[in-house]
Chain A
Amino acid sequence: MIECKNITKIYKGNVEETVALKNVSFTINDGEFVAIIGPSGSGKSTLMHTLGALDTPTSGKYFLDGKDVSKLSDDELADIRKGKIGFVFQAFNLLPRTTVLRNVMLPLMYAGVPLEEREKRAKQSLEDAGLNESHFDHLSNQLSGGQMQRVAIARALVNNPSLILADEPTGNLDSKTGDIVLDTFKKLNEQGRTIVLITHERYIAEHAKRVIAIKDGEIVEDTLQGNKNKTFNAIKE
């Protein structure tokens, strides 16, 4: 479960301060599929970094599964990411010239999981992400974009995280493969995974059950299925 309470993030530049997030508060329960939508510069990336324990807020509290993450050190944040968060990036970020299986096993290496179990769990994740077993031994650069993103999803799943954070996961894909990836997220959510998807595209956000719209560092709408249009209108210029 995710709880954000009055999260504010201020970046100190040389000349002036930039307020990226202003008093943002919301809660995401286990098993939800949430899209965070906003135009560029809205603060959605900052929010993603905070939710992903890559960065800490300037003020406010962020509880992940009841644990306060907002004041942790870099290494403590790394531990949180290792155990509780799975990332899916726009640019896939797979290790180049490395097999699919090894890419997926990578987070488990840092978690200190024994080798045989790593392999077993990585294979399971790859199947869950909808990748055919015949691709497991392929090198990451031999795959198509859609396959690469599914490998990345499998990598995000492999440590059984409380939260899967996807940052513009279809941004580098054509609409057809993008749909396959979005379907994969849907299926994973149906299996009980909590998914937070960050995007600037309305079409992508429509796949989620709940949409949080953010603009100028503030939440402008937060609606469940059915009322999404209201949310989308809120951030229209």
Chain B
Amino acid sequence: MKFKDLFKETFSSLLMNKARSGLTVLGIVIGIGSVIALVAIGQGATSSIESSIESMGSNLVMVTPGAQQGAGVRISAGRGSAKSLTAEDVEEISKLSEAETVAPVVTGQYQVTAKGTNTRTSVVGVTPAYADVKSIEISEGVFITTQNNKSSSKVAVIGPTVRDDLFGEDAIDVIGQNIRINNIIFKVVGITIAKGTSGMSNADDMIYIPLSTIQRFLTGNEYLSTINIEAIDQNSMSVLQTEITSLLLDLHNITDSASADFTVTTQEDMIESASSISETLSMLLGGIAAISLIVGGIGIMNMMLTTVTERTREIGLRKAIGAKRKDINTQFLVEAIMLTFIGGIIGIIIGGSAAFILNYFDIISTQVSLSSVLLAFGVSAAIGIIFGYYPARRASNLNPIEALRYE
């Protein structure tokens, strides 16, 4: 039997039962479509999380107070509550050769008011090094200076979101105006460039004030919330992590590293654990979609079995006029594969466009990869073969005499 004939036969038998073929194809369309769309959502999430962690700065190592809990990233909620990091730690860390820049930070949530408007936001006490470590750029005015820190000046650099909240979106001449943080008057000296959400915090919704100021007027103690360290290069991050750990254990007089009162995290750790979360998410989404694909496959098998039973006499006739076992087997297998293949193509188009639309209208960031398309294609063909195999075999094994007699 020639290939061309096979296709003609297949098409005409599929068209003979348009509604049934259509519904069966729909099962595969939904399966493949959801695999494509959900995997795209998962991959989009992975890449956006990774890029936002990267935007936090480069070669970043962070020391936070509180005990290490497992291998994962510590949730920032614990930050600031434990008190263990001091200026002395910062000084010692600065002496390490792998540490390029060290930026100690104290953070807090405070009520901020200006001219009758008010907002509650993160106030970060920083040194000038913070701008380097976190890649913060200034659009107007200046960043916190060393002089500010020495004199504990009441000056503030605000993020664009804070500016919008306090002064309105079309405010001009914000520099030089006063704001009140916790009822203490600060003078705005700079505004940062919009950076977008970064991991768990929004860098645009922050107020930066001198470290010494926050310690003296707001927290009232000398402890630090975080020490950010920029390593000299990417390779020295893990070395730095080990060195800082042993250094701080020493300084804090702790012998057992398991009871450390601080945690050292590298940017790589964060990316790794964040992507492991989003990979799990991708797998979960893909798994759900795969289940619907299997259900679609069962639909194919169901239809093919019905078809074989319905067309028993036709099979008998085909055998009587000279069709071999192989001819019948191929015909029914190709019918099943054709169904999944058509479903696969439509599913890829629909899933792909769904992913595109979600991304285009900024609903969720998605990423359709060639590998997921190829995988979906392969899987749909495989489903055709797997779920079509048994019905086709059943058809080809029919005895022509009995098949012709079948009522």
Contact = CB atoms under 8 A, between A and B. Distances in A.
Contact of B322 (A49, A79, A91, A97): A79
Interface in A54-89: 54-55, 74-75, 78-79, 81-83, 87, 89
Contacts of A78: 319, 322-325
Given A93-B313, A95-B314, A110-B1, A87 B320 contact: yes
A109 B320 CA distance: 13
Nearest to A93: B317
The 4 A-B residue pairs with the shortest CB-CB distance in the complex, in nearest-first order: A82-B322, A107-B321, A93-B317, A110-B322
Contacts of B401: 49, 54-55
A96 B16 contact: yes
Interface in A196-225: none
A233 interface: no
Interface of A: 49, 52, 54-55, 74-75, 78-79, 81-83, 87, 89, 91, 93, 95-98, 102, 106-107, 109-112, 155, 159
Contact of A106 (B313, B321, B326): B321
Interface of B: 1-2, 5, 9, 12, 16, 313-314, 316-327, 400-401, 404
Nearest to B313: A93
A98 B327 contact: no
Contacts of A111: 322
Contacts of A93: 313-314, 316-317, 320, 404
Given A93-B316, A98-B12, A110-B327, A81 B322 contact: yes
A107 B317 CA distance: 10
B16 A106 contact: no
A83 B320 CA distance: 11
B404 A155 contact: no
Contacts of B322: 78-79, 81-83, 107, 110-111, 159
Nearest to B4: A115
Given A75-B324, A96-B16, A110-B322, A89 B1 contact: no
A51 B206 CA distance: 94
A101 to B, nearest CB: 13
Which interface residue of B9, B318, B321, B401 has the most chain A CB atoms within 10 A? Answer: B321
A112 B400 CA distance: 21
B5 A109 contact: yes
A109 B1 contact: yes
A75 B12 CA distance: 25
Nearest to B400: A54
Which interface residue of B316, B320, B325 has the most chain A CB atoms within 10 A? Answer: B320
A49 B317 CA distance: 13
Contacts of B326: 75
Contact of A74 (B1, B316, B325): B325
24 contacts: A52-B320, A74-B324, A75-B326, A78-B323, A81-B320, A81-B321, A82-B321, A83-B322, A87-B320, A89-B404, A93-B317, A95-B314, A95-B317, A96-B16, A96-B314, A98-B12, A107-B321, A109-B1, A109-B2, A110-B321, A110-B322, A110-B324, A112-B2, A159-B321
A42 B322 CA distance: 27
A74 B88 CA distance: 91
A89 B320 CA distance: 10
